[in-house]
Each structure stands twice: as C-alpha cells, then as structure tokens.
Structure 1
Amino acid sequence: MSEAVVARLAPIAFVVLVAFLIALGVVRAAIAYANRRGMLDQPGQRRSHKLPTPRGGGIGIVVSVLPTMAACLFYLPAPWPFHAIVTLLLATALVALIGWWDDHHSLPVLPRFGVQVLAAAIFSFALLIDGPGWLWLPLLVVAGAWSINLHNFMDGIDGLLAQQAIFVGSGLAVLAWCAGQVALAGASLCVAAACLGFWCYNRSPARIFMGDVGSGSLGLLVFALSAMLWRVREGLVWPAVILSSAFVTDASLTLLNRMWRGRRWYTAHREHLYQWIVRRGGTHATGAAWYVGWNLLVAAPLAALAFNRPGMGLFACIVTYAVATVVWFMAKRRLIRRDRYKVRYVHT
C-alpha cells in the first residue's frame, strides 16, 4: 500500500472510529432515557417482538453521523460545496427531529410526511444548483420521500435495518473511493460505523429499537449519498441503487400488493417478507440472514459489475430487480403456504 493511500486512509479511519464510539455511547444512554420516559414498544399482533423494548435508539446514529459526516465532506480530499453539506445536515436534522417527536408522542401521517418531503426537497434543490437541470427535482423529491418511508417500513425485526445500512453505507463508500471521491467515501463509512455502534445493542435479542428518529434519518441518508454519487458520475446511480435492492423490492412490492388487494396500505401490518419469515417460525436472526445472503451473493457482485462496466449499469440494475421480484414472489408464496398448512395442522 502506497504512502499516498495510507495518508488518505488514516484520517478516514480516525473519523470512522469516532463515529462508532459516539453511536455506542449515545445508544447506551438512550436505553436508560427510554426506560425512564416509558418509551417502550409493547408486543402485539402486528409486531414481531415478544418483550417490551425501548425505542428511539436511532438518536445515537444521528448524533454520531452529523458531525463526523460533515467533517469528512468539509476536510477530506474532493470536498463538497458548502451549500450541499449544510442542506444535507439540515435535511437529516429535520427528519430526525420529526421522528424523535413521533417516538415520544405519536403524530398524524400528514405532518410527518410533509416534513419528510420538505427535507428531501431542500437537499435536492441544493444538489441541483450546479446540476443537470431542474426537471430532475420532482423525481429526486419523490425518491427521497420514498426512501425515508421504505426504511421506516423495513425496520421491524432485530438488527435488520442496522445491518442493511452497514452494507449499503460500506458499498457506497467503496464506489465513492473508486471514483476518487475520498470525502464522500468517508461520509458513507461514518454512516456505516454509526449503524454498527447501534447494531451492538439492536442485534437479536434487541435491547433497544431504532424508532422513527433512526429509520427515517437512515432513509434520507441512503438517498442523499446515492444522489451525491449520481452527481459525481451519472452511471454510478446504477450500482448505488443495486445495493439497496433488498429493501426497495420488499417494501415496494408489499405496498403494491396491499394496494392491489384493496387493503388499508397506510396502516401497520406484518406482510413484508421479513415479517413472514418470523411468522412462519424463523428467528429475527434468521430473517436478517436472508437479507445478508441476498446482499453478498447477488447485490454486491452485480453492483461491482455495474461499476466496472458502466455500459452495462442499467442492464445490471434491471436484472437485479427482476431477479429480486421473482425471488420475493416465490419466497412469499412458499411462506404463506407453510403458514396455512400449519394452521390446518393445528386445527386438525
């Protein structure tokens, strides 16, 4: 390893370690805070856990990410413009604040969604100031709002969202590093490190849940970091989107399926694939392992292909989501059939 590479890696390693330690400490404090305030998620028919568990631990991720990510984007090589960094921090803080409020006192859907759209719009506007054109703004805002909500939907079993954010954050860091974006690579790794600190308390059996303060913030950050890669080089959007294929597929197909069947798609439910795995008798660790398998065996190799062969990026992305759709339908059908068989067996 050359001295130049070591010189670039050393500050990243330091900031990433700081991000991990901050998250570890704040999440530990959040457990005590949630117990004191009675911020506990109770077991229920639409929830997969069996014991009352504190929520709001995602505040540790937010407190960790805001300063460390900003330091990377400001001071590491290939720094980002001031307006892009400030709006990213502001957007993250807005989503975190409305989520933290909701974790304390449940809020109606419209105020939460309004703040989420505002946050996505603020960041997207700043990203396009020197960008390809304002026609991209509506698409970016929709993508940002959907990312915030789908990550909230997918935060339902121990360790799942944290491990997904570790994978996506690390993958985005590799893409940014290979594209010469050291600052963006460092920022992405800070997100992954903060999630690792949270995961230490959230792995099964979880001592604390992330809450809306964490899930919404991570959804905004995954969108923002992916969009920043797109601004670096348009072709980088395909490997970035491939990295998130497990969550995007499960959340999107579950939502569309509920809408197609005329169900109240906006209410809480247990119909995501990971929830069916647990309903069929699998542990939370088993459910999370399914997504690890997809990420390592499918998403990572195809993202690498899309990066190394830019001309095949769109094709690799289409293949990834086509395969993910087939796998989702096959797995869901098999799990539902087993559940029905188990019900019949119990009644007989």
Structure 2
Amino acid sequence: MTLLLLGGAFAFSFLLTMAYRSFALRFALFDVPNARSSHSVPTPRGGGLAIALAVLCVAPLWFWRNGDAIPAEWLAVLVTGAWFAFIGWLDDLGVFVSTLPRLVAQFIGAILALSMLSGMPPIVFLGISLGGGWVGIIVGLLYMVWMINLYNFMDGINGLASLEAVTVCVGLLIVSYVSHWEPELSFMLAILASASAGFALWNFPKSRIFMGDSGSYFLGGTLGALLLAAGWVNPDWLWCGSIMLGVFITDATLTLARRLARGERPYQAHREHAYQHAARALVGHVPVTLAVCIINVAWLLPMSLLLATGILSAQVAISVAYVPLLLLAFYWRAGLPELNEPDESIDHRGEISQ
C-alpha cells in the first residue's frame, strides 16, 4: 500500500506538471527574466503546485488506510503546506504586488503551524533554550518564515530546489531507519521525495517549467513544519533536518546578511547567491545542482547519522557540518555583487513551444 501510494504521488506530480504546463502556456503564465534570473526566455511558472497537490491528495490516503484519523501533528503539517502552496500560487499569479502583503500571509501560515503544533519544541542549543514562552513563539515564527523564504531564494537554477527536496528527504529517511523515527514521519518524508521527483523530470537538466513560489513556499513551509513536529518527539531530529538543509541555509543566510549589511532590500531581485555565482563560473546549472546533491549525500547525511546515533552532540555535528559549507559560500562570493562575469542565461532555458 505504501509503495503504491508513493508511486501514485510520483505519477500524479509528473502528469499534473505536464497538464499545468499546458495551462500556463495557454494563459501566458510565464516567468519573465529579471535581474535575479538565470534564464533569458519567458518560461512557464507555477509547476510546483503539482508537488503540493500530489502530497495533499495522496498523503491522507495513507493515514486513512485503516480507517484512522490523521494524527494532529501531521494534519498540522498538511494544513500548513496547503496554506503556503495557496499563497505561493497567488504570488505566481501576481496577486502580491508588494512585499508587505506577502510577508503578512507568510506570518499567518507560521502562526497556523505553531498553533497546530503547540508551539516551538523544547530544544536547547549551546545551553540556550529556544522553546517555550515568548522566546519560543518568536523563534518559531522566524524559523518558519525563514524556511519559506530561504527555499524561495534558492530556487533559481535548474533542478536545485526539487532535487534538494529529494536528496534531503531520502537522506532523512535513511536517518529515520537508523534511529527508529515514527512511521508517519518516514512516510511524510517519502511522499515529499516522490512528488518532488515527479516534478524534477520537467525541471532538470533542462527546465520546461519552473517551480515558482507555489512549489518553493510549499516545500519550505512543509519541511519546516515537519521538522518542528519531529522536534517534539526528539529534538535531535530537528537538528538532523537542519544539517541536511545546510547548503540552502548557509548560502541564503550569508547572502541575506551581506546584502542587509550593504543596506539593500531583502526582496530586491539579484543574482548574488553562491549557487548563482557558481553556475555562471561553471557555465552551466547541471554541475552546480549535482554538486549540491553530492554534498547532501556524501557529507551532510553522514553528519546527520553521527548525530542521530548519538556519536556526536547536536552542537558538534552542526558546527562540523556547517564549517565547509560556509567556506564554500565565502569562496563562491555569496552575497557579493557580480564581477566581470558573463551575463548570458546559461542552461536555464525553458521550452515554451507547444
């Protein structure tokens, strides 16, 4: 039954992406190149909605297979994901014309997630309690909103966001097997990976449709809520997820910090992420996306396993895992303006003909 549902999520996502692409072509729902873009031709956007619908339609069937109700924490994850997919799709349609309404909608989703999950888990890092009381509420809200936005910021080259979801979720599935996570959590990870893989076939190595905000908001928000739910069972599980997402977290955070230090607006279009500098330097998106996948599997997964099995503490595991990621982000000039780099749109062209 589980394998059937996972196969169904993959097929549903793949076929729905194909149908949505035809819809986007017909109604001219294109991503028009701007200062942040790594493509030069208008390309259909919003295909990530297929990932969200595949997960939201198929996941309940697994919980209902024996006539059981969806547990409260996983219902929270699905409801939160649905909200973020909805506001992301509105963003893809151009409903949010300014930053403030978009940010308000994101905080509403964050409040929804925390209220349904009973707040921030009681986690401690470097001797500081990050859960409970007003501190926990503030940390939880900032965590959820940042998860959405960092995933959105990192969705800029072929296959990066979708294959990040696949490798992170598969990596955490391996961790779950070793450390005996709850079956429900393992299934949620598996279905996210399956649905993301179905979309990735349309987005890598060539991009025939872009994920858009509907997909990046959904993946960022769902993974954020899922890790919070896992943290209530075992705080180390939240840290394992934070390690597996390390490439996205370090690149997006360093880039934002440097841009804010220069007085630039966070939502201003740009191409200053480390992965964007790397894609231009390597004259292609494929090597960068594959490199991120390799880092996830060859470096971040072993570090997560060392944490999950108790060999390393959370503080040590995160510190060791993040040091080379930060060095890579600095090397690839995360958050710094472009130098004398070519301005072509290397390898991120969409096939917009019928």
Q: Which TM-score tier does this pair reach, normalised by the shorter chain?
A: 0.7 to 0.9
Show the counterpart of 2:19.
Answer: 29
CA distance in 1, matches of 2:57, 2:152: 23
Q: What's the CA shift for 1:180?
A: 3.8
Show the counterpart of 2:91.
Answer: 102
Deviations 1:185-209 (A, max 9, x none): 0111100000000000011210000
Q: What's the CA shift for 1:184?
A: 1.2
Q: Which amino acid aligns with 1:18?
A: G
Q: Which range is displaced more, 153-162 or 126-135?
A: 126-135
Show the counterpart of 2:140.
Answer: 140
Show the counterpart of 2:43.
Answer: 53
Show the counterpart of 2:235.
Answer: 234
CA distance in 2, matches of 1:275, 1:105: 24
Show the counterpart of 1:83.
Answer: 72
1:15 aligned onto 2:12: no
Show the counterpart of 1:68.
Answer: 58
RMSD of the TM alignment (CA)?
A: 2.5
Q: Which amino acid aligns with 2:145?
A: A
Whether the 8 Å contact between 1:156 and 1:275 is mirrored in structure 2 is yes
CA distance in 2, matches of 1:277, 1:329: 11
Q: Which range is displaced more, 246-255 or 306-315?
A: 306-315
Whether the 8 Å contact between 1:80 and 1:183 is mirrored in structure 2 is no
Q: How does 1:181-192 map to 2 (within 5 A)?
A: 181-192=182-193
Number of residue pairs the alignment of both structures matches = 330
Whether the 8 Å contact between 2:80 and 2:225 is mirrored in structure 1 is no
Show the counterpart of 1:248.
Answer: 249
Deviations 1:101-120 (A, max 9, x none): 11112412122211211112
Show the counterpart of 1:200.
Answer: 201
CA distance in 1, matches of 2:78, 2:239: 25
Please report the TM-score for the alignment, with normalisation by the length of structure 2: 0.86
Deviations 1:67-126 (A, max 9, x none): 2223345558xx886432333222211111111111112412122211211112212222
Q: Is the alpha carbon distance of 1:292 and 1:82 closer, same or farther for their aligned partners in structure 2, counting shifts above 3 Å?
A: closer
CA distance in 2, matches of 1:121, 1:310: 35
Q: Which amino acid aligns with 1:325?
A: L
Show the counterpart of 1:293.
Answer: 294
Q: What's the CA shift for 1:329?
A: 0.8
Show the counterpart of 2:322.
Answer: 321
Q: Structure with the greater relative contact order (CA < 8 A, sep ≥ 6): 1 or 2? A: 2
Show the counterpart of 2:350.
Answer: none
Deviations 1:206-249 (A, max 9, x none): 00000111000000111112112211212222221100000000
CA distance in 2, matches of 1:18, 1:225: 21
Q: Which amino acid aligns with 2:54?
A: S
Whether the 8 Å contact between 1:21 and 1:197 is mirrored in structure 2 is yes
CA distance in 2, matches of 1:74, 1:236: 25
Q: Is the alpha carbon distance of 1:297 and 1:320 closer, same or farther for their aligned partners in structure 2, counting shifts above 3 Å?
A: same
CA distance in 1, matches of 2:237, 2:311: 8
Please report the TM-score for the alignment, with normalisation by the length of structure 1: 0.87
Q: Is the alpha carbon distance of 1:80 and 1:262 closer, same or farther for their aligned partners in structure 2, counting shifts above 3 Å?
A: farther
Q: Is the alpha carbon distance of 1:310 and 1:224 closer, same or farther for their aligned partners in structure 2, counting shifts above 3 Å?
A: farther
Q: Which runs of 5+ in 1 are unaligned?
A: 1-10, 344-348
